[in-house]
Amino acid sequence: MAAMPRNDLLLFLGFTLVVLAMPIWLQPFGAAYPDLLQRFMIFGIFAVGFNILFGLTGYLSFGHAAFFGVGSYAAVWSFKLLSLDVIPALIFAIVVSGVFALVIGFISLRRSGIYFSILTLAFAQMSYNMAYSVLTPITNGETGLQLTLSDPRYLDRAIFEAVPGQPVPTLLGQSLGGFAGFYFCAGFLIIAFFIAQRITGSPFGMMLKGIKTNQTRMHYTGFNTKPYTLAAFVISGMYAGLAGALLAVTDPLAGAERMQWTASGEVVLMTILGGAGTLVGPVIGAWLIKYFENIFSAINDSILRRFFDFLPDGVDSAMVTVASKFVGEGWFLTLGLVFVIIVIFLPGGIMEGVRRIAHLFNRAPKAPGKANPQPQPAE
C-alpha cells in the first residue's frame, strides 16, 4: 500500500481524534455515557458502509437492515454455539452477511433505479417476515434470540469449564461493559472509516463514481459495471453485518425488528442528512439522528409541562398538547420534518451546508456579494 495523500491522512487523523475524544467533548451535551456512545459507533459503521453503495454508485438500497439483522443473528449464534468471545462472532457475522448480500445483490442488481430499490425493500421485508414465522427455530421469533446458561458453546467448553453466571460476550476474557465496549466499537468505526476512505480514493472507487455519473459511458468505455456494483453491494452488506454484530455484542439479544423497513429507511436518512457521497457526512448524520432520538424520545408530558410552566394557564396546556406530538413516541414526526427541510434547502446534506459556509468565508474578502459562476471543482 502506497502512502496516503496528505489531505486524506489529515482527515483520517482528525476523524480518529474526534471519535476517541467523544467521551470528553460530548460531556456538555449529556451524551457521554457508554450506551449511547456505542450506538453512535455502531450506526456510524452502518452509515459509512451504506454510503459505499449509495454515495458512490448511486444505487439506493431500501433493504440494508436485512444485513444488519443477519449480522446480529449470526453473532448471537456464534456466542451460543462457538464461544462467548467476540472475535469469532464478528468474523462469522461479516462472512454470513457478505454471502447473504451476494445473493440478494446478484438478483437486485439486475435492475437499476427505483426497481432496484423496490427489489431490495422486498427482500428485506421478506427476511423480516421469515424471521418472525418460518425461521423461528433460528431466530426465536418474537421473543428474540438470547443467550442462555445451557448454550453448548463448544469452543469455550473444549478449552475450559463453563463459567457459572449470566453469559456475557467478552474480548479474550475481558469484559466489554461500559467504556471498554465503546472503545472496542470505536476501533471498528475508525477501521471502517479508513477502509471506506481507501476505497473512495482508489481506481475502484473512481469506477463506482463513474457508474453513478454515467453508466452508459462506462459500458462504452469497456467496463463491465455489474461486478463493480455487486462488489460495492457486498462490501456495504458486510459493513451492515459488522454493525449488527457489534450491537449484539453490547446487547446480546437479536430481534427481527432490526430488519424492518423502518430500520432500512433510517440508514438512508442518516446518509442523506449528513451528505451522501462524502466520507464524514453519513457518520455525522448517524450521530445526529441517534443523539436527537435519544433526547426527544425521552421527553414526556411532565417534562414538557415543567418546560412550558412560565406560560399562562390554558396556553401552557395547549403548548404541551402540541409539543407532545413531536416527542416520545412521536419523535419520528420531528425526524420527518427535519428531513423534509434538509432535502429542500440542503439537498447535499449537512456537508453541503459546511461547504457553503466555508465557501462564503473563502470568497468574502475578494468579491463580496458577487455571485460569480466560478467553475465548481469536481469532487
Partner 1 sequence: MSQPNVVLHVADVHKRFGGLHALADIDLQVEEGQTHAIIGPNGAGKSTLLNVIIGKLAPSSGQVVFDGASLTGRKPYQINQLGIARVFQTPEIFAELSVLHNVMIPALAKRDGAFKLNMFRSLESEIGIRQEAEDMLEDVGMLGRRDMAAGSLSRGDKRRMELAMCLIQHPRLLLLDEPTAGMSRHDTNTTIELLKKIKSRGMTKVIIEHDMHVVFSLADKISVLAQGRIIADGTPDQVRGNPKVQEAYLGGAH
**Binding stretches for partner 1 (CB under 8 A):** 1-2, 4-5, 198-199, 201-207, 209-210, 212-214, 216-225, 227-228, 231, 375-379
Closer residue to partner 1, CB minimum distance, 58 or 169 = 58
Grid cell locating 48:
459509512
Closer residue to partner 1, CB minimum distance, 165 or 222 = 222
**Whose CA is closest to 73, among 245, 249, 261?**
245
Closer residue to partner 1, CB minimum distance, 10 or 206 = 206
Q: How far is the CB of 282 from partner 1 (least distance, A)?
A: 18
Measured torsion, CA atoms of residues 14, 17, 18, 24, in degrees rounded to the nearest 10: -150
Are 79 and 91 within 8 A, CB to CB? no
Closer residue to partner 1, CB minimum distance, 78 or 197 = 197
Burial class (CB in 10 A: 0-12, 13-18, 19+), 98: buried
Closer residue to partner 1, CB minimum distance, 206 or 333 = 206
Q: How far is the CB of 4 from partner 1 (least distance, A)?
A: 7
Which long-range contacts (C-beta less than 8 Å, at least 24 apart) are formed by 171-177?
171/85, 171/86, 171/87, 172/85, 172/87, 173/85, 176/86, 176/249, 176/250, 177/34
Which string of b and e fits 225-260 if b means at least 16 CB within 10 Å? beebbbbbbbbbbbbbbbbbbbbbbbebebbbebbb
Closer residue to partner 1, CB minimum distance, 56 or 119 = 56
Compute φ and ψ for 110, nearest 5 degrees: -70, -20
Closer residue to partner 1, CB minimum distance, 89 or 211 = 211
Q: How far is the CB of 94 from partner 1 (least distance, A)?
A: 16
Q: How far is the CB of 235 from partner 1 (least distance, A)?
A: 8
Are 274 and 47 within 8 A, CB to CB? yes
Q: How far is the CB of 95 from partner 1 (least distance, A)?
A: 18
Closer residue to partner 1, CB minimum distance, 166 or 224 = 224
Q: How far is the CB of 66 from partner 1 (least distance, A)?
A: 24
Which long-range contacts (C-beta less than 8 Å, at least 24 apart) are formed by 110-118?
112/59, 112/215, 116/59, 116/60, 116/61, 117/60, 117/61, 117/62, 118/62
Which string of b and e fits 109-138 if b means at least 16 CB within 10 Å? beebeeebbebbbebbbebbeebbeeeeee
Q: How far is the CB of 144 from partner 1 (least distance, A)?
A: 36
Write the DSSP string, 230-297: HHHHHHHHHHHHHHHHHHHHHS-EE-GGGGSHHHHHHHHHHHHHH-TTSSSHHHHHHHHHHHHHHHHH
Q: How far is the CB of 201 from partner 1 (least distance, A)?
A: 6
Grid cell locating 57:
454508485
Closer residue to partner 1, CB minimum distance, 127 or 278 = 278
Compute φ and ψ for 283, nearest 5 degrees: -65, -45
Q: How far is the CB of 256 from partner 1 (least distance, A)?
A: 33
Closer residue to partner 1, CB minimum distance, 2 or 24 = 2
Q: How far is the CB of 195 from partner 1 (least distance, A)?
A: 8
